[in-house]
Amino acid sequence: MAATPPASELSDLVKAVDSSIELVIDHELLRPEHYAGDNPTDPRYTRTAEQQQAYEDLLISADVIFGVPDQSPRLLGHVVRTNPRLRWVHTMPAGGGAQVRAAGLSADELTRVTFTTSAGVHGGPLAEFSLFGLLAGAKDLTRLQELQSQHVWAPHWAMRQLREQTVLILGLGGIGMETARLVSALGARVIGIKRRPEPVPYVDSVHGIEELPRLVAQADGIVITLPGTPYTEKLVDADLIAAMKPGTVIINVGRGTVIDEPALIDALRSGHIRSACLDVAATEPLPADSPLWMMPQVLISPHTAAEDPGKPRRIATLFAANLESFVRGEPMRNVVDTKHFY
């Protein structure tokens, strides 16, 4: 069952895997999208009691669910517990493991149901956003915007060149690897952190997490692509920020919980951190009273950098490939690690 609006191609892709598979898509019961590929969570949308019951009845009759129902961990937990035939749930976000963790499932339930994510389909858009943040920092975008708003033709100053910089990427999954490819193409030296260090294309050197304090002191720009897990929460804390090279640019396209936000704010105020480009926040939506809103050296994107018109088709293609593996009893891609939940 599709628990969230799928790409139009999904039906044909599923039939191509096995024509006997029944794909249930009831658009009247699915939250409407603001645009193609949206993860709809519009609080203004409501179902009637009868529609809600029909929606949940379909969920508890499915062997496979495409999308977390209503993007709600609570409802996901309810469906897993009341549907003993459920075997697989595919989540829309790359960080869908966080939704699974929040569902509060038991060890037996996590063993019975396989959860997969859409990791990899967001790599291109988020890598471009990361490159945008690095260039914005190097080329003094916020300073240029301020001068333009004041109609000031300022004296010349020396801008930084990305090709002369060292960029540290925290997390070398699909997003991190594509970021490395783009950044290295501009001539930057790329270093990276990976839980299991091994050579990665376009990355000059790969290191374990224990080397992070030493590496941040070398980096002119730091790109965070890490998921939100108990192991990554506030990984970038006050001590690590203090160890960073003065004038560092920080880009976060992973999860906002990876950064200790008060410590980041302090470092931005002091000038120790040159600028930040944030697609995510520790609390989303970012509270209206957050100092980050008022900082001219901060660029804030409302967790929208991964959105692009091609995303639904890429997710459907990934799901269909996994469906073929599921039918054959073969290993699937992007299975959630239910210890680390990514």
Residues that are catalytic: 255, 284, 303
Q: Which residues contact 77 (CB under 8 A, 6 or more apart)?
A: 103, 104, 105
DSSP 8-class letter at 156:
P
CA distance 127 to 83: 38
CA distance 90 to 197: 28
Helix locations, the chain, DSSP H:
10-17, 49-59, 73-82, 97-102, 107-112, 123-138, 141-149, 174-185, 212-216, 238-243, 261-270, 311-328
How far, CA to CA in Å, does 314 sit from each of 123, 269, 304, 311, 323?
A: 11, 40, 17, 5, 14
CA distance 79 to 69: 9
Evaluate whether 225 touches 201 at the Cβ level (below 8 Å). Answer: no
- Our CA angle for 198, 92, 37, nearest 5°, is 120
Helix pair 123-138, 141-149: axis angle to 10 deg: 60
DSSP string, 282-340: SSSSPPTT-GGGG-TTEEE--S-TT--TTHHHHHHHHHHHHHHHHHHTPPPTTB--TTT
Closest CA to 88 of 117, 61, 113: 113
Q: Is residue 66 classed as helix, strand or coil in its secondary structure?
A: strand
